[in-house]
Amino acid sequence: MWLLRRVPALSLRYALSQGKALNTQTRALSSVSKDDLEEDVDRKTAWLLKAFAGATAVYVGCQFLPLMGESMIQQSVALLRVKDPLFKRMGASRLSRIAIDDERRRKIVEMGGVTQLINMLETAPDDRTRREAMKALASLSQSDVAINALHQAEAHSIIKSITESATDEDILKYKSSVLNRLQKIDAEKVAQI
């Protein structure tokens, strides 16, 4: 009898000890699967965040991309018409960065950018404003259309009359670049006659 009572107790003890081992293995397996699950969730969350950031970048790019076209040129030329020298400098700086190919330079000339830059150069109160105007004119002068517009506006005398500033060497560099280009056009016109 004792043995019968003892066997179920031993069996129960054995079962409990095995249960603990099984439980421990189950916990280990469940913790591995939880780690895998967490890693999977983290990976999917990262992809979701990347997709959201990409979609946001595309949306923002589509909203601001039209500003890089003709409207950006119009806004920059309009800034040259404002009386404040800061806004004039900003407009001239934009134009010097926009004028990277002949098509854009032609649009700037058509919108009156060359005449506005010449007016800005004539009325510039400081060297910083003159520098930005000359930088924009130097960028524009790489195009034949812009050089012809400068020639028609008689910008040669205005550019030549800019005082040689001791504080800003860039003005002299841009001035000589534009004057050299204007002189080449003059020489070509004289050679054609």
DSSP string, 130-151: HHHHHHHHHHHTTSHHHHHHHH
From first to last of its 193 residues, what are the pLDDT tens digits of the chain?
444 455 555 555 555 555 554 455 455 445 557 778 888 888 889 999 999 998 888 877 766 655 556 788 888 899 999 999 999 999 999 999 988 888 889 999 999 999 999 999 888 888 888 899 999 999 998 988 888 888 888 888 888 887 765 567 888 888 888 888 888 877 777 677 6
Up-side HSE of residue 143: CA atoms within 13 Å toward CB? 22
CA 22 – CA 28 distance, rounded (Å) = 10
Other C-beta atoms closer than 10 Å to the C-beta of 116 total: 23
Distance, in Å, from the CA atom of 44 to the CA atom of 174, rounded to the nearest integer, reads 55
On whether the pTM is more than 0.75, the answer is: no
Number of H helices, E strands in the chain: 9, 0
pLDDT the model gives residue 4: 47
120 and 92 in contact (C-beta within 8 Å)? yes
61: alpha, beta or left? (left if phi > 0; alpha if psi -120 to 50): alpha
pLDDT for position 1:
46
| Cα 27 to Cα 108: distance, rounded to the nearest angstrom | 73
Q: Are 93 and 136 in contact (CB under 8 A)?
A: yes
Angle CA 18–20–25, to nearest 5: 95
Pick the CATH number of 69-192 from 1.10.3720.10, 3.40.50.920, 1.25.10.10, 3.40.50.2300: 1.25.10.10
